[in-house]
Amino acid sequence: MEIITTPLEGCLIIKPAVFPDARGYFFESFNEERFNEQTGLKVHFVQDNQSASGYGVLRGLHYQQGEHAQAKLVRVISGEVLDVAVDLRAGSATYGQHYSVLLSAANKLQFFVPRGFAHGFVVLSETAEFFYKCDNYYNKASEGGLHYADPALNIDWQVPADQLLVSEKDQVLPNLDKL
Ligand SMILES: Cc1cn([C@H]2C[C@H](O)[C@@H](COP(=O)(O)OP(=O)(O)O[C@H]3O[C@@H](C)C(=O)[C@@H](O)[C@H]3O)O2)c(=O)[nH]c1=O
C-alpha cells in the first residue's frame, strides 16, 4: 500500500497493493493497523456506507459539524467518479481550496478525507457504486453543506451542468461566504 500526499495537508490518496493472478485479483481494502502505521494517524472507523448512482449524479458537498465531524475513507466499487474535498478548517493555509481525484473500480484508489473538510463526488461512468468508511456516526442534526457550484470554489466537475442530477437538499446549500 502506498500513501500519496496531496496539496491539501491531511488529504491522502491510498494506492493498495493488488495481487493479480489467473483467478482475478486480491487486495486488502482496509487494514486498520497498516493504515494507521503508514499514515501516522489514529483513525478508527465506525460506520460503512454504500451508494449507487447514475452518470451525472452529484452528491455533496457535505460535512458534519462539531463533535459529529467525520473523516472518510472513500473508494469506488464499480464505475468511475470525480471525488472532491474542500478544506473548511478554520485557520488552514488552504481554507476554501479543493482537491479532486479520479476514483474508479479500475484504479482501485482510495481517498482519505480528514475531519474539517466538505466532501462530494460526481459520477463520470454510466453507473457507479461508491463505498466509504466514516470515523463518526451519521447525525442528521449536525449535517452541513456547501453548494457544489459556488463560484468561489470553482470546481470543474467534468460533467455539463445540464446533465448533473443533484438532490433538492444539495441544490439549496449555501456558498462558502454564507457559512
Ligand atoms: C449519510 C447518511 C444518510 N442516511 C440517510 C438519510 C437519507 O434518508 C438518505 C440519503 O441521504 P443523503 O441524501 O444525505 O445521501 P448522500 O447525498 O449520498 O450523502 C452522502 O454524500 C457524500 C458526498 C458524503 O460525503 C457522505 O458523508 C454523505 O453526506 O440516507 C443515513 O441513514 N445514514 C447516513 O450516514
12-56 pLDDT tens trace: 999 999 999 999 999 999 999 999 999 999 999 999 999 999 999
Q: What does the block give as the cell for 145?
A: 453543506
Cell match 449555501: residue? Answer: 174
pLDDT value at position 50? Answer: 98
Q: What does the block give as the cell for 167?
A: 438532490
Residue from 50, 53, 62 to probe ligand 1 pocket by mutation (most atoms less than 8 Å from CB) = 62
**What end-to-end distance do the CA atoms of the chain give, in Å?**
37
132 labelled catalytic: yes
Domains and CATH numbers, the chain: 2-178 (2.60.120.10)
Closest residue by Cα to atom 15, ligand 1, is 59
62 labelled catalytic: yes
Mean predicted confidence (pLDDT) in 109-137: 98
Ligand 1 neighbours by CB, cut-off 6 Å? 49, 51, 59-60, 62, 72, 119-121, 138, 167
The one catalytic residue in 98, 132, 147, 148 is 132
DSSP assignment string, 161-179 = GGG-EE-HHHHTPPPGGG-
Cell match 486488502: residue? Answer: 28
Closest residue by Cα to atom 26, ligand 1, is 62
CA–CA separation, 179 and 132 (whole Å): 25
Q: 0.90 cut: is pTM over it?
A: yes
pLDDT value at position 108? Answer: 98
Answer yes or no: are the C-beta atoms of 77 and 136 closer than 8 Å. Answer: no
* Dist. CA 177 → ligand 1 center (Å): 24
Mean predicted confidence (pLDDT) in 115-130: 98
Which residues pair with residue 12 across a beta bridge?
5, 112
Ligand 1 atom closest to the CA of 143, numbered from 1 = 29
CA–CA separation, 174 and 107 (whole Å): 33
- 10 Å CB burial of residue 164 (0-12, 13-18, 19+) is middle
Torsion of the alpha carbons at 93, 95, 136 and 141, rounded to the nearest 10: 150
Ligand 1 atom closest to the CA of 169, numbered from 1 = 13
Mean predicted confidence (pLDDT) in 64-81: 98
Q: Residue type at 137? A: Y
H or E element, residue 113: strand 110-113
